[in-house]
């Protein structure tokens, strides 16, 4: 259940800061569902096994993009732009509307400070936010896990 703070929706428009494209340790991993991996592999003209070998790694059994840049930037970030934007992972598509971000304390203390797009642009309705959260949660259940 979303807090009443969000009942009228949230103004949001990505400002291209790329803050969300920089890892902050394990909390910043970009986890991949099979659909994500297939979509990105196809974009890169690789088969799924090649993509997983060259671009991914597992942590605690879960597949995520391999971090290669020392500053934590996503490997697909170039000059603050996503080079696979059209085929980016679901986790990236649904930011900042993740269930864990929609807790009032988290939103007010961390997310608003972290994401300059919040408070800008058109309002995203509460019903749209709920759909995004549901889409993200469904994707989370499909993240590739080698421990299963």
Task: Characterize 110-122 residue by residue with b for buried, 16 or more Cβ atoms within 10 angstroms of its Cβ, and e for exposed.
Answer: ebeeebebbeeee
Whether residue 92 lies inside any domain: the answer is yes
Q: Which residue is associated with the tokens 């930037």?
A: 73
DSSP reduced 3-state for 120: strand
Backbone CA torsion sign across 15, 18, 24, 30: positive
Whether residue 94 lies inside any domain: the answer is yes
Residue 58 to residues 54, 66, 123, 139, 144, Cα–Cα distance (Å): 12, 8, 37, 17, 9
Residue 48 confidence (pLDDT):
97
Whether residue 47 lies inside any domain: the answer is yes
Q: What is the mean pLDDT of residues 30-38?
A: 96
Whole domain around residue 74: which residue ranges? 4-16+28-141
The count of structural domains within the chain is 1
Q: What is the mean pLDDT of residues 41-53?
A: 98
Residue 60 phi, psi (nearest 5): 50, 30
Q: Which of 87, 77, 62 is nearest to 19 (CA)?
A: 77
Whether residue 60 lies inside any domain: the answer is yes
Whether residue 54 lies inside any domain: the answer is yes
pLDDT interval class at 4 (50, 70, 90): confident
Name the percent of the chain lying above pLDDT 70.
94
* Least confident among 56-65, 90-99, 139-148: 139-148
pLDDT score of 147 more than 80: no
Backbone CA torsion sign across 6, 9, 15, 20: positive
In tens, the pLDDT along 66-86 reads 988 788 889 999 999 999 999
Whether residue 12 lies inside any domain: the answer is yes
Q: What are the start-end ranges of the E strands in 10-68?
A: 10-12, 56-59, 62-65
Whether residue 78 lies inside any domain: the answer is yes
Whether residue 23 lies inside any domain: the answer is no
């Amino acid at each position: 259940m979303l807090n009443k703070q969000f009942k009228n929706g949230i103004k949001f428009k990505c400002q291209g800061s790329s803050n969300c494209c920089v890892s902050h340790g394990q909390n910043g991993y970009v986890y991949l569902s099979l659909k994500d991996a297939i979509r990105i592999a196809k974009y890169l003209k690789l088969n799924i096994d090649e993509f997983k070998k060259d671009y991914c790694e597992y942590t605690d059994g879960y597949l995520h993009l391999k971090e290669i840049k020392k500053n934590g930037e996503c490997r697909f970030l170039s000059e603050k732009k996503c080079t696979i934007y059209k085929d980016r992972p679901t986790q990236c598509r649904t930011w900042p509307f993740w269930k864990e971000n929609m807790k009032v304390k988290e939103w007010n203390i961390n997310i608003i400070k972290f994401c300059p797009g919040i408070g800008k642009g058109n309002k995203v309705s509460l019903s749209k936010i709920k759909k995004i959260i549901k889409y993200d949660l469904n994707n989370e259940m499909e993240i590739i896990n080698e421990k299963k």
